[in-house]
Chains A and B, each alone.
Chain A
């Protein structure tokens, strides 16, 4: 009879080289799924948030309704929100992505409204005086000036979405969260720790990427020491 295997996997160690080498594809697959969910959700959030923010700005009466509704969604615990969506969106990827996009709305809409509001009135008047139409005013003057605040919101939304995606594991679509939940059920230490480290690393990397994007897009803010603060519900 062969002697019982004795390695870091059978000893269930937290850090285990054998785990990384034998299950690397599991980790990269989960990471890839995680990145996909985050990107699609945040992009969807942006696409929905932009018209809502413009509507709220155009029609003052709608602002309270839009901000209030997106904040109320934010209050609903994620596990419950995903579950309440199931009867409409089914089990799986769509529900997770829509749920996460709904969460990102709160932060994105608020920051878009705040950013646009902070554009100085005389700048706007000057542009109108120079003959800018509404579209060009928004695209060429207001949006660039609002960008630091919008990007601050986008960073917060992205980092939160990376963490929240793990809850998608309830629908078997949680990226790295799947490995964490399964690893907890089977008390697989190396898997839980590796997936956790990857989630946090992903959040940090995406946040740094967005900081880089912001620097490229708004070169005039580089010299300033303070960056815009995100407007977070509360």
Chain B
């Protein structure tokens, strides 16, 4: 454990392209961008499907497929195949393949939760809103979306935490991000480095989880103390 402390105190580990700040920035950027891409694609789709009350099979199967396909395999196939391992802007080596893989893994929780949230909105409330003469767009925006918000945010939380974790695994095959500290540690047989890298990744994952718990509390004042 002393070795881990020494690793954190070594200034070399905080500078340059393989330093903690740069990798942390890269890892965060990857997480944010890929979740945003998944939201841009998945949220409208799921809102529309949920509003129409169709596509439940898609929502469920997406989750099952996502669970069965290993991240390592998908990233490898994309990196060796169409997208290549070239560095991509600020995203580092295999940037494109990593971004696409992460966005794909962020899709299932977003689509499934949004769809479920929309479908579970009380039908009576929806009918009442229609009876009041709300247009479909207003109904979606003013009634369904706010009522589905807690589940949508729960999906977003799953997506963010999952992508953060997945981005770590990316380093195992070809990817950028904080996982590189861990893989480098293994390659150099430095247990202290491996543990230090893991601590950073795990600490941020837990912090993200806690932040989202707070957001969820804030977004659903009605459910405080309810569960």
Q: Do A and B bind each other?
A: yes
Residues of A in contact with B (beta carbons under 8 Å apart): 14, 72, 75-81, 83-84, 86-87, 156, 159-160, 162-164, 166-167, 169-170, 177, 180-181, 183-185, 187, 189, 192-193, 195-196, 199-200, 203-204, 207, 233-234
What size tier do the contact residues of chain B reach?
35 or more
Q: Which stretch in B14-22, B46-54, B165-173 binds the other chain?
A: B165-173
Chain A residues whose C-beta falls within 8 Å of the C-beta of B172 in the assembled complex: 79, 167, 169-170, 181
Given A75-B205, A79-B198, A80-B168, A162 contacting B80 (CB threshold 8 A) = no
Chain A residues positioned under 8 Å from B80 (CB to CB): 184, 187, 189, 192
CA distance A84 to B201 in the complex (A): 11
Please give, as numbers and ranges, the residues of chain A lying within 8 Å of B168 by CB-CB distance: 77-80
16 A-B residue pairings within 8 Å (CB atoms) = A72-B206, A75-B165, A75-B202, A75-B206, A79-B165, A79-B171, A80-B168, A81-B198, A86-B195, A166-B71, A166-B73, A167-B71, A183-B76, A184-B76, A184-B80, A203-B68
Are the C-beta atoms of B67 and A234 separated by less than 8 Å? Answer: no
B67-A195 in contact (CB<8A): no
Contact of A87 among B77, B113, B195 (CB under 8 A): B195
Identity of the chain A residue whose Cβ is nearest the Cβ of B68 in the assembled complex = A203
Complexed CA–CA distance, A83 and B4 (Å): 13
How many A-B residue pairs lie within 8 Å, measured between CB atoms? Answer: 139
Nearest B residue to A85 via CB reads B198
Closest-by-CB residue of A relative to B159 is A234
If over half of B's interface residues share one DSSP class (helix, strand or loop), that class is named, otherwise mixed; here it is helix
Asked whether, in the complex, the Cβ of A195 is within 8 Å of the Cβ of B73, the reply is yes
Q: Given A79, A87, A200, A203, which contacts B179 in the complex, CB threshold below 8 Å?
A: A79
- B218 near A: Cβ within 8 Å? no
Q: In angstroms, how far is the closest chain A Cβ from the Cβ of B81?
A: 8
Nearest A residue to B113 via CB reads A234
- Distance in angstroms between the alpha carbons of A83 and B192 in the assembled complex: 10
Taking the nearest CB of chain B, how far is it from the CB of A175, in angstroms? Answer: 10
A169 / chain B contacts, CB cutoff of 8 Å: 72, 172
Contact call B77/A83, Cβ cutoff below 8 A: no
Bound Cα distance from A160 to B65, whole angstroms? 10
Inter-chain contacts of B182 with A (CB < 8 A): 79-80, 83, 170
Nearest-CB distance from B170 to chain A (Å)? Answer: 9
| Interface pair B198/A84, CB less than 8 Å apart | yes
- Would B70 and A164 count as touching, CB distance under 8 A? yes
By Cβ-Cβ distance, the 4 closest A-B pairs, closest first, are A77-B165, A80-B198, A196-B73, A83-B198
Does B197 contact A184, Cβ atoms closer than 8 Å? no
A199 to B73, CA, bound (A): 9
Return chain B residues, CB-CB under 8 Å to A181.
72, 76, 172-173
